[in-house]
Amino acid sequence: MRRIVFPAVALLLVCISTVQADPLHVTVVLSDEGGAYQTFSDSLRSQLQTDRVVLNVQRASQTLGQSDIYVAVGMNATAVLSSRDVPTLSVLVPQAGYEQLLKTSAQHGKPHSAVFLDQPLQRQVALLLAALPATRQVGVLYEVPQPELQSLRRLLADKGIHLHDRIVGKAQSLNDALESILNESEVLFVLPDSEVYNGGTIRNILLTAYRKQVPLVGISQAYVKAGALCAVFTTPEQVARQAAGLIERYAESGKLPAPQYPSDFEVSVNKQVARSLEIHIKDADQLRDAIRRTQ
Amino acid sequence: MSHGFAVVKRGVIALLCGSICLAPNEVVAADEALSEQAYLQDLPVILSASRLSQPLSEAPNAVTVIDRQMIKASGFRTIADLFRLVPGMYVGNAGANFPIVSLNGVTDQYSRRMQVLVDGRSVYLPPLGGVDWLDLPLLIEDIERIEVVRGPAAASHGSNSFYGVINIITRDAASMNVNTVSANKGEMGISDVSAHLGKAGNDFDYRLSFGYRSDGGDNPQILNDTSSNRLLNLRTAYRPDTDNSIDFQFGMNDGVYGMGTAGRPEDAFRNVLTTNDFQQLGWTHTWYNGDETKLTYNRTARDFTDPYKCIDIPLCKSSLSLQGFGQDAATIQRQDTELQNTTQLGNYNRAVWGGGVRYDYVDQPLIFTSPITLRETRLFAHDEWRMTESALMNVGGMYEDDGAGHKSTSPRIAMNYHLVPQHTLRASVSSATRNPMMAEMYMNTAHGAYWTNAYAPPANDLRPEKILSKEIGYVGQFDAVTMDARVYYDKVQDIIMLDAYVDGNLSNRTDSFKNLFDATYKGLDVSVKYHWESGNVTANYSRQQASCAFSSYPTQYFNPVIGPTLAQAYQTDYLNLCSQSVPTNGGSMLLSQQLFESFQYSVGYYLRSQVRVTDVTSGFPPESQMRRVDMRLARTFGQKEKPGGGELAVVVQNAFQDNYTGYGNVPQRMDLLFNRRAYFTATLNF
């Protein structure tokens, strides 16, 4: 991807410089400081580094300056910009959150698009199949109803895998739901529900799963670092490259494409956990190639 | 070019529109559940290097794991019985209330050559060494799993990890999600009841267990082998933040154990009283890079009172006026502090290193002239070096000063090679030392005042026993089958034995202890596990051989008067019998099967060819071959591990009444049998 986007952006900017002297104003609006937001912003700046582009970075809480296009980084920034009639590209946002926000916001016809944080379900299932091909029973836990659950169930069923689910809530505590789901599952598939999975609960979840010799498939590098077996995810740098491509298309056509999943991704594997659970897993590059072949 | 114009147009529009202003309070907060935090949140390292157990295929020794499922399926009520599921392990009884557990043969009822740890705390106690298995403040239901290392492992498990290590891991407080009461009732006076309470929270967990356990013994008319015990065990975990965890454990028990043999006035029927308690405090800090530091302090105290100990055997035997008896009281205290670090060194090395200090105190006036204190210090380091994707080297060692003048180093090196990921070969050379126990070094009693003879401290300093073990192992996986096999050759030097008639006085026999024997043990053992959807089976087999020779001679061996007799006695009673000190064949098979929705059936088969504990001399028969079958049938009700759920079960031990005999070094004991016994268990969750 890097090989394609870099020359494309460079060519675009060379063309701009020869024909049009006015720079493109891009304003990056960060939901928060530091972390992934800052990494994305720095990476986008390096992607668009030329005197034909003026890139401003600001917090969502600050007064917005004028710009040709806004890049909303995270949900807070997206929330700010969704109520404004300005061309906006949202990044580092989950699909469900983005769609719900846009549903409730008044739209005035200005292009609005996004690169989601979520991985397409097919990609997540492809990881599961590549990493743990013998799996037949997969478990999920959630507190907030997950819109994609039925799609996931169908996708897994097509591969002969049964999906078990438990709702965490008043009727069933996290511990009860966890014990129960782990008794039925060979793999616990993490869903993006921070009510269930957060810094306070992850210890109990990982230790209980480990005790029952059930691996977790996570949704980010942090999960793998904490003790999940593997995860497929997109780095802020990869999102920045995709965003740069979309900005290029916008510059060319004045249009933004439909919201989309991240096109590039990484796979991370916790080899120590795999070894301890005696799971013979391929390495991260092999898994990434295996996923790519399915797409 | 069109894109150039498009940029201009939008630029102009933006300028015309002017700036867009937003006050901070207009920022609409995104719904937390739909925010990106689920993806972007930072999480603490939970399954850190030190928390991850080494897979069997990468361990430097052969390891047998007994998990909760196996414990339940076995139907065993006592912890010692569980070791029947370990290939090559001897489990015997000096009466129903005195189990004996050992690898590589047994010298006497105090099995001194294995380390036994409960959550890292050594329960192998002075002055005699070994473990009083029934008298641990630990309920079998609180055990998460037991890892038995078959082979010397001082580098990773500390001193006295000689023939092997029994590492008992109790249930994490965080795993308690339901409260349970359970009871056993059955033949031979079996009557147990216990409660297990607990709760897991975000930053604080606890589990509390208490219970009562009682057993009427196997042969109460001949052997007073009854036991009863009250236990309490508490474990809490507090996590002030994601990087720190504080684990506190507390346990206590008091027991009443029958002693005495019918027809032996010097071993009168009486009850021995014990109290045990321990406290353990551990602080674990996880560093930003996943490395871990663990500081542990524990204190163990044990009091033992035999109110009617014969302290003058001739008088006890001859008198009808019940004279010659006195009180044997012992106070044992241990404190241990250990610092252990787990450090990831680059991508390919993981090191565990640290040190500890242990303080042991024993006051037992009947065998020691004054209280004894020893301070042991140790340093250890172990590295797991992943040389290539297929090759792993475990190298390490321990340096120890036992505080009694013995300094020793125990190195170990093991190479594991994955032929393919599912099939691994292991070759290892490991060593360990066993430091002389207090009784061996300092026991000082008059004739008949404790045991039959008088005991004097050795004239020459005892050396620690040494073992060098060479082993080739294989660990393999074939779909639902896992297999673990090894052949080994263990060379043991300087085994400490009784030095009979040490002063040459024939009329008043005085014994001492001396490094007398070398021994070699060689054998093979195999474990196979197979699981299917509704059940599993574990099968173990071991074949062992032992041989012994003098490493140095008893003090009076060359005495012209008693030397020849002594030489003959050592030859007849020890050297000639050495090969019998291990069972040639041993094995076990545990099958567990789910029947219908709510029934579970399990059968255990335990095989051991004849064996002779070393202090059972030539005048007595060895323990006969055992072919024992245990059965368990359980019916569950309600939901598993949920309030209202539970289980009813019946267990029959030695179901077909195999008449095998047990340990017996006196005539009255040598034909005693372990009779068939049945008991019911009921468990209710609330």
Residue A76 lies in a domain: yes
Question: CB neighbours of B558 closer than 8 A, spacing ≥ 6?
Answer: none
Contacts of A193 in chain B (CB under 8 A): 33, 38
Chain B touched by A17 (CB under 8 Å)? no
Q: pLDDT-based confidence at A212, cuts 50/70/90? A: confident
What is the per-residue pLDDT for B300? 96
Chain B touched by A290 (CB under 8 Å)? no
Q: pLDDT-based confidence at B319, cuts 50/70/90? A: low
What is the per-residue pLDDT for A106? 61
Domain residue limits, chain B: 56-188+195-685
Q: How far is A123 from chain B (nearest CA, A)?
A: 16
For residue B7, give the H/E element and its range. helix B2-17
Of A19, A208, A219, the CB nearest to B39: A219
What is the per-residue pLDDT for B389? 84
Contact A15 B1 (CB under 8 A): yes
Q: How far is A149 from chain B (nearest CA, A)?
A: 15
Q: Which residue of A has its CA nearest to B59?
A: A276
What is the per-residue pLDDT for B158? 80
Residues B209 and B195 sit within 8 Å (Cβ to Cβ): yes
Q: Which residue of B has its CA nearest to A17?
A: B4
Please check whether residues A28 and A125 belong to one and the same domain. no
Please check whether residues A6 and A112 belong to one and the same domain. yes
Question: CB neighbours of B19 closer than 8 A, spacing ≥ 6?
Answer: A63, A64, A65, A66
Q: Shortest CA distance to B126 belongs to which of B383, B538, B404, B500?
A: B404
Q: How far is B16 from chain A (nearest CA, A)?
A: 10
Contacts of B36 in chain A (CB under 8 A): 31, 74-75, 92-94, 97, 117
Pairs across A and B, CB distance < 8 A: 215
**Does residue B160 surpass a pLDDT of 70?**
yes
Q: How far is A78 from chain B (nearest CA, A)?
A: 9
For residue B409, give the H/E element and its range. strand B407-420
What is the per-residue pLDDT for B336? 96
Q: Using DSSP, state whether A241 is helix, strand or coil.
A: helix
| 8-state DSSP, B662 | -
What is the per-residue pLDDT for B29? 39
Q: How far is A1 from chain B (nearest CA, A)?
A: 22
What percentage of chain A carries pLDDT values higher than 90?
Answer: 52
Q: Shortest CA distance to A85 belongs to which of B228, B17, B139?
A: B17
Of A82, A100, A272, the CB nearest to B34: A100
Contact A200 B1 (CB under 8 A): no
**Does residue B122 surpass a pLDDT of 60?**
yes
Q: Which residue of A has its CA nearest to B421?
A: A280
Please check whether residues A275 and A203 belong to one and the same domain. yes
Residue A273 lies in a domain: yes
Q: Which residues between 281 and 320 in chain B have a beta carbon less than 8 angstroms from any beta carbon of chain A? A: 290
Lowest mean pLDDT across A93-107, A138-152, A225-239, B408-422: A93-107
Contacts of B18 in chain A (CB under 8 A): 66
Please check whether residues A139 and A272 belong to one and the same domain. yes
Contact B20 A219 (CB under 8 A): no
Chain B touched by A106 (CB under 8 Å)? no
Burial class (CB in 10 A: 0-12, 13-18, 19+), A135: buried
Contact B39 A65 (CB under 8 A): no
Q: Which residues between 156 and 215 in chain A have a beta carbon less than 8 angstroms from any beta carbon of chain B? A: 173, 175-176, 179, 183, 192-195, 197-204, 206-208, 210-211
**Does residue B50 surpass a pLDDT of 80?**
no
Rounded average pLDDT over B659-686:
90
State which of A197-201, B322-326, B565-569 shows the largest mean pLDDT: B565-569
E-state strands within B175-324: 180-186, 190-200, 204-215, 227-241, 244-259, 270-286, 292-310
Rounded average pLDDT over B610-636:
92
Q: How far is B373 from chain A (nearest CA, A)?
A: 40
Chain A touched by B3 (CB under 8 Å)? yes
Residue-wise pLDDT for A46-66, tens only, equals 988 776 778 889 888 888 888
Question: CB neighbours of B631 closer than 8 A, spacing ≥ 6?
Answer: B75, B601, B602, B603, B604, B651, B652, B655
**Does residue B321 surpass a pLDDT of 80?**
no
Radius of gyration of chain B (CA): 29
What is the per-residue pLDDT for B630? 98
Please check whether residues A29 and A85 belong to one and the same domain. yes
**Does residue B608 surpass a pLDDT of 70?**
yes
Query: Which region holds residue A289: left if phi is over 0, alpha if psi is between -120 and 50, else beta?
Result: alpha
Please check whether residues A77 and A191 belong to one and the same domain. no
Of B29, B42, B53, the CB nearest to A222: B42
Of A74, A211, A222, the CB nearest to B43: A222
Using CA atoms, how far apart are residues B72 and B82, in angstroms rounded to an integer?
A: 10
Residue A261 lies in a domain: no
Rounded average pLDDT over B553-575:
94
**Does residue B35 surpass a pLDDT of 90?**
no
Chain A touched by B177 (CB under 8 Å)? yes
**CATH number of the domain encompassing residue A96:** 3.40.50.2300
Residues B254 and B243 sit within 8 Å (Cβ to Cβ): no
Q: How far is B596 from chain A (nearest CA, A)?
A: 17
Contacts of B8 in chain A (CB under 8 A): 20, 22
Q: Shortest CA distance to A16 belongs to which of B5, B570, B500?
A: B5
Contact A75 B30 (CB under 8 A): yes
Please check whether residues A134 and A277 belong to one and the same domain. yes
Mean pLDDT (chain A) is 86
**Does residue B180 surpass a pLDDT of 90?**
yes
Contacts of B642 in chain A (CB under 8 A): 176
Q: Is the omega angle on the peptide bond into residue B127 within 30 degrees of 0, that is, cis?
A: yes
What percentage of chain B carries pLDDT values higher than 90?
Answer: 69
Q: Between β-strands B180-186 and B190-200, what pairing exists: parallel, antiparallel or unpaired?
A: antiparallel
Please check whether residues A112 and A130 belong to one and the same domain. no
What is the per-residue pLDDT for B32? 59
| 8-state DSSP, B127 | T
Using CA atoms, how far apart are residues A265 and B41, in angstroms rounded to an integer?
A: 18
**Does residue B673 surpass a pLDDT of 60?**
yes
Say which CATH architecture domain B56-188+195-685 belongs to: Beta Barrel (2.40)
Chain A touched by B8 (CB under 8 Å)? yes
Q: Which residue of A has its CA nearest to B476?
A: A278
Contact A79 B30 (CB under 8 A): yes
The more confident residue out of A100 and B182 is B182
Using CA atoms, how far apart are residues B568 and B554, in angstroms rounded to an integer?
A: 12
Q: Which domain holds residue A76?
A: 2-117+235-253
Can you tell me the ipTM of this complex?
0.87
**CA triplet B467, B470, B474: central angle to 5 degrees?**
135
Mean pLDDT (chain B) is 89
Q: Which residues between 34 and 63 in chain A have a beta carbon less than 8 angstroms from any beta carbon of chain B? A: 35-36, 60-63
What is the per-residue pLDDT for B304? 94
Q: How far is B445 from chain A (nearest CA, A)?
A: 50
Q: How far is B551 from chain A (nearest CA, A)?
A: 43
What is the per-residue pLDDT for B306? 96
Of B3, B33, B242, the CB nearest to A144: B33
CA torsion, ordered B654, B659, B663, B669, to nearest 10 deg: 120
| 8-state DSSP, B575 | I
Please check whether residues A271 and A180 belong to one and the same domain. yes
**CA triplet B245, B119, B190: central angle to 5 degrees?**
130
Count of the separate structural domains present in chain A: 2
Of A79, A203, A211, the CB nearest to B27: A79
Residue-wise pLDDT for B274-283, tens only, equals 999 999 999 9
What is the per-residue pLDDT for A38? 93
Rounded average pLDDT over B581-603:
95
Q: How far is A293 from chain B (nearest CA, A)?
A: 24
**How far are the Cα atoms of B76, B110, B630 from residue B678, in angstroms, in the given order?**
11, 29, 10
Q: How far is B36 from chain A (nearest CA, A)?
A: 5
What is the per-residue pLDDT for B558? 95
Please check whether residues A93 and A161 belong to one and the same domain. no
Chain B touched by A94 (CB under 8 Å)? yes
Please check whether residues A79 and A161 belong to one and the same domain. no
Residue A41 lies in a domain: yes
**Side chain identity, residue A184:** E
Q: pLDDT-based confidence at B6, cuts 50/70/90? A: very low
Residue A259 lies in a domain: no
Q: Shortest CA distance to A220 belongs to which of B44, B595, B41, B306?
A: B41
Residue-wise pLDDT for B449-464, tens only, equals 888 899 999 999 999 9
Using CA atoms, how far apart are residues A11 and B213, in angstroms rounded to an integer?
A: 83
What is the per-residue pLDDT for B46? 82
**Does residue A15 surpass a pLDDT of 60?**
no
Q: pLDDT-based confidence at B298, cuts 50/70/90? A: very high
Q: Shortest CA distance to B496 belongs to which of B450, B458, B449?
A: B458
Using CA atoms, how far apart are residues B504 and B450, in angstroms rounded to an integer?
A: 20
Q: pLDDT-based confidence at B676, cuts 50/70/90? A: very high
Using CA atoms, how far apart are residues B662 and A77, in angstroms rounded to an integer?
A: 78
Chain A touched by B172 (CB under 8 Å)? yes
Q: Shortest CA distance to B134 belongs to which of B171, B95, B163, B169?
A: B95
What is the per-residue pLDDT for A107? 61
Chain A touched by B483 (CB under 8 Å)? no
Cα within 13 Å of Cα(A72), Cβ side: 31
Lowest mean pLDDT across A78-82, A252-256, B79-83, B400-404: A252-256
Please check whether residues A84 and A147 belong to one and the same domain. no
Chain B touched by A256 (CB under 8 Å)? no
